A and B are shown apart, each in its own frame.
Chain A
Amino acid sequence: EVVLTQSPATLSLSPGERATLSCRASQSVSNYLAWYQQKPGQAPRLLIYDASNRATGIPARFSGSGSGTDFTLTISSLEPEDSAVYYCQQFRNWPLTFGGGTKVEIK
């Protein structure tokens, strides 16, 4: 099973700042990685697939990068509505696995 480790657990930043979230895989998943955003009381929403492709309707301030075992989700300029938990998910191998999440707090 591919284990995904996300860091940091919590990120506290001010509006307009840049957020950098990390997802590390226990073995290579090539570029078969997705990122999701989940706000309290809501279902997750797809942000990024294939490591760097933005999903439909996702603002350009969200970007993904990386391949192999190291991946990054960057929010270039935080908005108040970006307060959420962010999860990565690999789909290179079965079982599909998720990281433990990074909580982004807006000061």
Chain B
Amino acid sequence: EVQLVESGGGLVQPGRSLRLSCTASGFGFGDYAVSWVRQAPGKGLEWVSLIRNKAYRGTTEHAASVKGRFTLSRDDSKGLAYLQMNSLKIEDTAVYYCTRALYSSGGNGYYSDYWGQGTLVTVSS
């Protein structure tokens, strides 16, 4: 069974850092990209960042709202992906979902076929 479990969320002050982890199981983690999607309280979904698999050299993409502040990494041997969030802002407050991302041949991007349950990040003083 495919499972994705996020951890590392919590309350953090503006300007500080936080690292989220995503633990994957039940599939060949190294063969897939990992995408992070967030949802502010009572709001819709917002794509945040994506890290490709090793075949695509683990390259990353970021939404403009987090570019330069968030970075991604992965440890395929452990089935782990990380979202390092620096210089956090109040507007980064959201539930952060880790997803398994599938590349659509012919397209440029990815859609998410499995989602974790999410971890809440609250940025507040």
Contact = CB atoms under 8 A, between A and B. Distances in A.
Partners in one complex: yes
Given A30-B107, A89-B45, A49 B61 contact: no
Contacts of B116: 43
Interface of chain B, helix or strand or loop or mixed?
strand
A49 to B, nearest CB: 5
A100 B44 contact: yes
What band does the interface of chain A fall in when counting residues whose beta carbon is under 8 Å from B? 20 to 34
Contacts of A32: 104, 106-109
B34 interface: no
B108 A91 contact: yes
Contacts of A100: 44
B117 A94 contact: no
Contacts of A97: 47
B64 interface: yes
Contacts of B115: 43-45
Interface in B52-83: 61, 63-64
Given A87-B44, A98-B47, A93 B113 contact: no
Contacts of A30: 106-107
A56 to B, nearest CB: 8
B117 A46 contact: no
A90 B104 CA distance: 11
Interface of A: 30, 32, 34, 36, 38, 42-46, 49-50, 55-56, 85, 87, 89-101
Contacts of B111: 34, 46, 49, 89, 91
Given A32-B106, A49-B111, A93-B108, 18 more contacts: A30-B107, A36-B112, A43-B115, A43-B116, A43-B117, A49-B102, A56-B113, A89-B112, A90-B109, A91-B104, A91-B108, A91-B111, A92-B109, A95-B64, A96-B50, A96-B110, A98-B37, A98-B47
B43 to A, nearest CB: 9
Nearest to A46: B113
28 contacts: A30-B107, A32-B104, A32-B108, A32-B109, A36-B112, A42-B117, A43-B116, A43-B118, A44-B97, A46-B112, A49-B113, A50-B104, A55-B113, A56-B113, A89-B45, A89-B111, A89-B112, A91-B107, A91-B110, A92-B107, A93-B109, A94-B109, A95-B47, A95-B64, A96-B47, A96-B50, A96-B109, A101-B44
